Structure 1
Amino acid sequence: MAASYLPYEPQQQRLLPEALQDWLPEGHLAYFISDSVDSLDLSAFHARYAKAGPRNQPFHPAMMVKVLIYGYATGTFSSRKLAAKLFDDVALRVLAAENYPAHRTLSDFRALHLQELSALFVQVVGLARECGLVKLGTVAVDGTKLKANASRHKAMSYERMLKAEVELKAQIDGLLNRAKAADDLEKNEPDVDIPGEIQRRADRLAAITAAKLRLQQRQQEVDAARGRNPDDQRKPRDKDGKPKGGRYKRDFGVPKDNAQESFTDTDSRIMKRAGGGYDYSYNAHTAVDEAAQIVVAAELTNNAADSDRLPVLLAAVKANLGHDAEQVLADAGFRSEAVFEQLKDSPSELIVALGREGKQAVSIDANQYPHTAAMDAKLRAPRGQAAYRKRKWLVEAPNGWIKSVLGFRQFSLRGLEKVQAEFKLVCLALNLRRMCSLRGT
């Protein structure tokens, strides 16, 4: 007896119009993102098109925002890949409602509305609070390095810049002299586009000179912060300007020979990565609320150190939610006597580690570092130890979700301002994904 199968007719045409709402199961992330975006204020997006006429009809901003956020929430950050998935991915077809913007349209929309997209982060945090997912009882902060959109092979050290400048100037002079040579001497030379060669080397020389000046400017700022001045003759001096012994290795404002600068993303910096090695990166920071591990503040800098970021994160939490957190947890990277002094009147209770996992074996001079000594006493108390133990699972998990669940390990954009906005877009997408998973719990 022949087997009996359920009907399978690939060529069968539907007799009634399809409903997009039937394509995905109830409770799907796409529906949650769509409903969430519909509840947000998108007037800033619409304002850009207020004067557009009937002949200039862009895609609807709400649709574009939903598609971009869903892309980031599911690990598709490339506009080209996102445009391709509009045909292949059922969820994206539902969100786009059978619209198919090209990858350039998606890329241009993101670039044009980058600040508006990042501003939605605050609205989503407020939405999470309305849902009871943000309490501002305990907030933990942490930093993580994310790769810049910059090639390590398109960079140069300060030492190499100095040599390359000399070499390029000599090559340009040689080409200019060759261009001026007599015709009878040129006829035996191979054909060369001399003006093009000169321009190519001149452009390269200009790029190297600009990079060298950026390195020097940065080093001048560092030296000035250390109390140096251009006339110090490499001699360290006390507050009265008198030499106090020793000698600086380099003149004021002269970078180390191995100091590097990128030609692709000039705002990125070389930073050490986990597991060893170095990459051009940015230092991203998050503040995570204890109630549901919602990211309530997302900031980013091109400084590898965390020691000055605590006031910035606390200010961002208050700006985003209108209130200070009751308690803030941070690891030893945020430790700084100057920051403790700055935040001594903060309404938030600070619990900041002074060593690995909150352990500090070295005695602290209470006269010289009174705030650090007070923090040490707080961490030694059972209450302080119990509070700090929550930090790791509270804030490091969202950073892991960004890199391992969303798969976001490298920025698509370049430049500090654009990267700051893209990081908020990433955290916005993560929050919506987290809110969707917690819905109904």
Structure 2
Amino acid sequence: MFKQYNMNQVILPLDMERKLHKDDIAFTIHEMIEGIPEEAFEPFLRETGTPSYHPKMMMKVILCAYTQSVFSGRKIEALVQDSVRMMWLAQGYEPSYRTINRFRVNLHVQDLLRECFVQFRSQLVEEKVIDQEAVFIDGTKIEANANKYTFVWRKSTERHSQNLIEKSNTMYEELLEQEVIPAMERESSDELSTEELQSVVNKLDDHIEDFNQKIESSDDTAVRKQLRSDRKKPKEYQKQFKDFLQRKQKYQTDMEIFGERNSYSKTDHDATFMRMKDDHMRNGQLKAGYNVQLATENQYALAYDVFPNPTDVRTLIPFLDRIENDFFELPRYIVADAGYGSEQNYQDVHENREREALITFNTYRKEKTKKYQKDPSNSANWAYDEEKDAFTCPNGQQVSFLYTSQKKDRYGFTRTVKVYECEDCSSCPLRAECNKRQSGRNRRIYFNPTWEEQKAYIREQLSETKTGELYGQRKIDVEPVFGFLKANLRFSRMSVRGTDKVKNELGFAFMAVNLRKYTSKPQKVSGRTPYHSQKKDSDDQKMIIRTFFYS
């Protein structure tokens, strides 16, 4: 005997919710979006035109699609038509892929996503899933939606720009010597501006037009032939200066797009070429991408941001500002790996934010090795006399204080360095090993007291039981989120272009990771009942009506 099966029988369930499992992820998405204050949706209101879809519905649909590893607008549209949970979240509406794509790149969606993260974190705190003692920070590089070979490099642009300046100046001087055009007032003697290049082109156009009029007005073949011959050189200059003008404008545009970066992609101007772990050519080829910074606790993504920097060291301070301004108050401990260790970062965390930095530095592991600790040429192993303010080298020579130097990097941060110099290295038996980089003079030591104090503080913190265990938790807290995002969710490449749009998409992706983790195992609930566990009143119950049609 078989169960009843008849394709001529039409079944019309009016409540899609009853087709979903009680622990379905759609209920969690619905509860979170409904918890966003109504004021956050007001920027989407329009007084004219056709009424738009409610942003709550659009947020739920896109978030649900991302949890199912569906990132394409067309596939999301198809999912709304096929998936029961998507039908329930959309409540019968079927937005087109154009509507979906326009919504998820809307600038106002950033505020909605921020509200989602704030709401989600408050829920985790309420349920005591996170303890707010520390925040774990790390970064990853995600490939941009750009062609791999559309790179523009700053050094190349600067070199070509300098060649253009030299050629244009030389040709301008030739035009003045040949009295082809009159001299003009220049803003700078170093280079011709775009306005000045345009002026040269206009004057050459007038000069060539004079030749054309003379040629047309002359009936003498020999004269006309001579005029055409004289016109060739100005036309060549005209062609060259038009090319100079176009290239000058292009180089200026390139430099504006670069900003502080060294490269950008022609496909996505906000993307920077970085070294990815997945080397498609296996030769160190760079790819256009974004440096994504993430703050986590208990393997939940709590805040995120996007930066064009290939390295992490200069992203920490702006990322912490972003967390404090838009997401939550920083906890006591800021935990990150050695890629964030710098004097400026330590100073910002300790002095400006009054927090504890559990961040190692680049040489932390190296300094623990026996080779480093027994190296006689390493000044860190030399004895120091605080009264004399001098070191003693392995040969017994005194390395005395010489002067204090202030070093400012290209980003404006100033470091104070004390310089010490050895008395006499001429007859030292360790000279070849100790003074390799300073041959021809006595050995010098560049000592940064602030940096050394910071490193000593970090060593002390990591040697303690509590803080050492807290730092050791970093790898098992933030790395799994990236692994889930790229491996399980299969989100390894952006589908939109531009920093603002990329931020929106990453917000959906990280929240999808959170929702997948949150619904994968039962959570400790305190003080309230999740939406999908609540019982509806009898007035809200809907009957499932089945209508049978027989042929």
In structure 2, distance between residues paired with 1:107 and 1:219: 28
- 2:55 is matched with 61
Question: Residue 136 and residue 319 in structure 1: after superposition, are their counterparts in 2 closer, same or farther (change >3 A)?
Answer: farther
- 1:397 is matched with 480
Question: Residue 402 and residue 356 in structure 1: after superposition, are their counterparts in 2 closer, same or farther (change >3 A)?
Answer: farther
- 1:212 is matched with 251
1:357: Cα distance to partner?
8.5
Q: Provide the secondary structure at the position in 2 that maps to 1:82.
A: helix
**Deviation string, structure 1 residues 84-128 (Cα, Å, up to 9, x no partner):** 111222221221122111100111122234323333333333333
In structure 2, distance between residues paired with 1:418 and 1:149: 11
Task: Say which of 92, 108, 116 aligns to 2:111.
Answer: 116
**Deviation string, structure 1 residues 250-277 (Cα, Å, up to 9, x no partner):** xxxxxxxxx6431111111011111443
Q: Is the 8 A contact 1:145 1:283 kept in 2?
A: yes
In structure 1, distance between residues paired with 2:145 and 2:259: 26
1:64: Cα distance to partner?
1.0
Give the number of the structure whose alpha-carbon radius of gyration is greater. Answer: 2
Task: Say which of 63, 70, 84 aligns to 1:90.
Answer: 84
Task: Say which of 354, 361, 365 aligns to 2:361.
Answer: 354
- 2:286 is matched with 278
**Deviation string, structure 1 residues 234-290 (Cα, Å, up to 9, x no partner):** xxxxxxxxxxxxxxxxxxxxxxxxx6431111111011111443210100011111x
Question: Residue 58 and residue 273 in structure 1: after superposition, are their counterparts in 2 closer, same or farther (change >3 A)?
Answer: same
Q: Is the 8 A contact 2:144 2:271 kept in 1?
A: yes
The answer to whether structure 1 residue 43 and structure 2 residue 39 are counterparts is yes
When normalised by structure 2's length, the TM-score is 0.59
Q: Provide the secondary structure at the position in 2 that maps to 1:343.
A: helix
The answer to whether structure 1 residue 333 and structure 2 residue 333 are counterparts is no
Task: Say which of 304, 314, 318 aligns to 1:308.
Answer: 314
Q: How does 1:128-167 map to 2 (within 5 A)?
A: 128-157=124-153, 159=156, 162=160
- 1:415 is matched with 498
The answer to whether structure 1 residue 433 and structure 2 residue 429 are counterparts is no
Q: Provide the secondary structure at the position in 2 that maps to 1:344.
A: helix
Q: Is the 8 A contact 2:135 2:330 kept in 1?
A: no
- 2:266 is matched with 263
- 1:373 is matched with 456
Question: Residue 127 and residue 81 in structure 1: after superposition, are their counterparts in 2 closer, same or farther (change >3 A)?
Answer: same
Q: Please identify, of 350-359 and 32-41, the stretch whose mean Cα deviation from structure 2 is larger.
A: 350-359
CA RMSD of aligned residues (A): 3.4
Q: How does 1:69-80 map to 2 (within 5 A)?
A: 69-80=63-74
Q: How does 1:197-236 map to 2 (within 5 A)?
A: 212-213=251-252, 216=255
1:392: Cα distance to partner?
0.2
1:157: Cα distance to partner?
4.6
In structure 2, distance between residues paired with 1:128 and 1:48: 28
- 1:10 is matched with 7
Gaps of 5+ in 2: 165-200, 216-241, 280-284, 373-377, 381-446, 525-551
Q: Provide the secondary structure at the position in 2 that maps to 1:328.
A: strand
- 1:102 is matched with 96
In structure 1, distance between residues paired with 2:354 and 2:272: 34
Q: Is the 8 A contact 2:118 2:328 kept in 1?
A: no
1:40: Cα distance to partner?
1.6
Q: Provide the secondary structure at the position in 1 that maps to 2:484.
A: helix
Counterpart of 1:77 in structure 2: which amino acid? F
**Deviation string, structure 1 residues 307-333 (Cα, Å, up to 9, x no partner):** 122233333443455532122211010
The answer to whether structure 1 residue 323 and structure 2 residue 329 are counterparts is yes
Counterpart of 1:330 in structure 2: which amino acid? A
Q: Is the 8 A contact 2:264 2:288 kept in 1?
A: no
**Deviation string, structure 1 residues 37-61 (Cα, Å, up to 9, x no partner):** 11222433344325246xx122222
- 1:298 is matched with 304
Counterpart of 1:149 in structure 2: which amino acid? N
In structure 2, distance between residues paired with 1:416 and 1:125: 24
Question: Residue 359 and residue 294 in structure 1: after superposition, are their counterparts in 2 closer, same or farther (change >3 A)?
Answer: farther
Percent identity, aligned pairs only?
Answer: 26
**Deviation string, structure 1 residues 49-85 (Cα, Å, up to 9, x no partner):** 25246xx122222111100111222211111110111
Counterpart of 1:114 in structure 2: which amino acid? V
In structure 1, distance between residues paired with 2:86 and 2:33: 14
Q: Is the 8 A contact 1:73 1:430 kept in 2?
A: yes
Q: Is the 8 A contact 1:137 1:326 kept in 2?
A: yes
- 2:228 is matched with none
In structure 2, distance between residues paired with 1:97 and 1:330: 44
Counterpart of 2:275 in structure 1: which amino acid? K
1:440: Cα distance to partner?
3.6
1:421: Cα distance to partner?
3.1
**Deviation string, structure 1 residues 129-154 (Cα, Å, up to 9, x no partner):** 33333321122110000111111233
Question: Residue 359 and residue 436 in structure 1: after superposition, are their counterparts in 2 closer, same or farther (change >3 A)?
Answer: farther
In structure 2, distance between residues paired with 1:155 and 1:263: 6
